[in-house]
Amino acid sequence: MLTWTTRALPPLTAGRQRHTGVRLSDGRVALIGGRAGSAAPPSDGAAVVSLGDVTVLDLETGTLASWPGLASPREGALAWDLEGALVVTGGMAHTGMEPIEDETESYGYREDDGAARFPVQHESRRQPRSWGIGAANTRVGEHFVLSGGMCFDAGAFVYFSAVRRLDPQTLDWIACGALAIPRYLHGAAAVSATELLVTGGLRSDDDTESKLEELDATEIVELGGTTRRGPPLPFAAAEPLVATRRRARPGRRGLRRELPGSGGGVR
């Protein structure tokens, strides 16, 4: 049985959503990018600004510190701490209305007398059309592994199946497997030192996302080996979803499910 306890920590200085948190090797937590303000998708594209700042929360002292920001502001990024270097990749930026096309940024950091010297180095690699947004990052054994994802390219949605591991020295992503079902916004966990379990997520059978499918299929990817079916999620597969062409309102997802025989009633 799962149990949990909750303890309040010092709040952020301003409301924030879709940011990324990663535990640093010294125990602090870096909060990276995200979006300021309300949840509403913009009606004119001008209200939403993706953030590039990095805030570090010290869980012991309850203090917040600002670090120099990302070269490319983004929300929904993926991040790893490589014991002295913070690696950030993927996500999307609203200011440019474009996904961050798989740009990987790396910042070295160190501490002198409690003051962050950050970054002490910055490197960037781009691997366009490789994972886009909604990929999953997972530690599998000694490897930092990235799976799936989606990007919007030339008017079409492209879903990815590749599984890659990060070479921390070169910041290159090295192919080490493939999902049977391309997907994004999925979950992933290491079920052994060499195996990645991928669960759920979204996909569409066409490149317009007019019908999105919530996946309950799971897969187990052996790094450098084969992919096999994993245990299904403990509930039935959802019906295909139909994206409305309405603009979403705050607090609503703006999507509806077509009810059987009803011609598309709204739940």
Partner 1 sequence: MFDRADGAWHAAPDLPRAGAGGRPAIAIGAHHYLFLDVPAGWELPGRALLLDARTLTWSAADFHTPEHSCVAPLGRGAVLVSGGVDSEGRALVDNALVHFEVS
Phi and psi at residue 203, in whole multiples of 5°? -155, 170
Give the Cβ contact number of residue 198 at 10 Å. Answer: 28
172-191 binders of partner 1 (CB under 8 A): 184-191
DSSP assignment of 133-194: BS-EEEEETTEEEEE--EEEETTEEEE--EEEEEETTTTEEEEEEE-SS--BS-EEEESSSS
Distance CA 139, CA 124 (A): 21
> What binding mask, one character per residue, do residues 98-137 give for partner 1 by CB under 8 A, x or -?
-----------------------------------xx-xx
Q: Nearest to residue 186, comparing CAs of 164, 142, 217, 225?
A: 217
User: Is 42 an interacting residue with respect to partner 1 (CB under 8 A)?
Assistant: yes
Q: Nearest to residue 223, comparing CAs of 146, 169, 168, 158?
A: 146
Q: Nearest to residue 252, comparing CAs of 12, 14, 41?
A: 41
Nearer CB in complex with partner 1: 173/184: 184
211-250 binders of partner 1 (CB under 8 A): 212, 214-216, 230-231, 233-235, 238, 241, 243-250
Nearer CB in complex with partner 1: 261/267: 267
Nearer CB in complex with partner 1: 38/61: 38
Rounded to a whole number of angstroms, the minimum distance from the CB of residue 113 to partner 1 is 25
Nearer CB in complex with partner 1: 69/123: 69
User: Is 12 an interacting residue with respect to partner 1 (CB under 8 A)?
Assistant: yes
Q: Which of 45, 84, 128, 264 binds partner 1 (CB under 8 A)?
A: 45
Give the Cβ contact number of residue 26 at 10 Å. Answer: 13
> What binding mask, one character per residue, do residues 54-93 give for partner 1 by CB under 8 A, x or -?
---x-x---------------xx--------------xx-
# binding residues, partner 1 (CB under 8 A): 92
